[in-house]
Structure 1
Amino acid sequence: MIHEVDEVLKGLLGGGVLAGSGIDISFEAPTRDWAARRNAPVINTYLYDIREDVERRQRGRMPVHDERNVVVRRRRPPRWFRLSYLVTAWTKTPQDEHRLLSAALATLLSRELVPSAELPGPLAALGLSIPVSVAGTQTESRSLAEIWSALGGELKPSLDLVVTVPFPAHPEYDAGPPVTEGATVRLRGPEEAAPQTSERSHRPRQVGAARAAREAKVPQQRPDPR
């Protein structure tokens, strides 16, 4: 799922204000060696933290429908995880870096929720939208200063980007076939009486058939009071 989220972010940052600019989107760690190798303007989106959003955790089972809207499987609800990215701009001048950050911020602020139709592969199959938060309050245990220190580089202006993503829970369980026959009740007389049995069956009635039967029913005539 993480690599699919990377593709979603690459499409978001490459569109919007930066559409057609040719700015490269990198997911490598922004170390000193990486910074020395670059030779063109780059927006770096570094994944620095992964942790579960426990407030979204659910219990129970969820139905899985086929193209006929029939339940064919059941599965556990997905687990939601917060993927935290450090977004930085790399150019030759600070002014150009600030312009790139401003463009990235304007692009991400307008996409606070990405619908499932715009998600790839298994993410789209879950049918859930994913929230995107940018430049919010720092909630992770590691500060940005600690992250830059671990990367061995100098502190740069950055955007804290958090994408909350559902991860499917396994295994899935096959569901039983749908009920097409009604219940059958057999009645038997007392033992001292003659053995008598009767059988009554009930079949599920379709809504359309029941409605047609009511509409076709002829009302009973009342007797003439004269």
Structure 2
Amino acid sequence: MHQSHMQQPAQTSLANFSHDGRIGLIEIDNPPVNALSVPLVQALIAALNDFEAVAGLEALVLYGAGRTWVAGADIATFDDPGFPVAEFNAFLTRLDAQQCHVVAALHGAVLGGGLELAMACHHRVAQPNTRLGLPEVTFGIVPGAQGTQRLPRLVGAELALDMITSGRALDATQAQAAGLVDAVAEGDARSIGLAAAEALLAS
């Protein structure tokens, strides 16, 4: 779509909302690896508020700026009593409850809370280099943001149990075969997300 038809983000937040025609976009921009943190969770909530405030949008695409999607939570926040686990879970539930198509456009590392964020979206498209997993067990914890519920629904109990208890990650091809990813596509994350959303709207 031509530049004149796009509303651009202000680039002042860790999660920037814009829209391209009838498709909303949320760009996650928390370098270097877009790690979940208290400010990022708050920024995601604000970006979803912005999306819901624009009439006529029929799809939403979430994608990561830079070299990766969300590569998990900031380890420094694990012992922070202020980390908003309940708030993040409420955001995931709200994202899943959207009446429009919600697409996660994935690349790089999709791990821990990043995979839980992706699983709350309705459709997942990934670049071939993407790796997806729940490595929390390697830190001595279990997935805490709906991962133990959402993963078995997508890939079945046997594979989900293996991934959760071993911390093993899947590549994009394996994830597609397992049902964790709906499509694998070449291109930058924003572009493959927009293409997936357009295809869903046209179907």
- TM-score bracket, normalised by the shorter chain, equals under 0.3
TM-score, L = length of structure 2:
0.25
Between structures 1 and 2, the one with greater helix share: 2
Higher Rg of the two aligned structures: 1
TM-score, L = length of structure 1:
0.23
Between structures 1 and 2, the one with greater strand share: 1
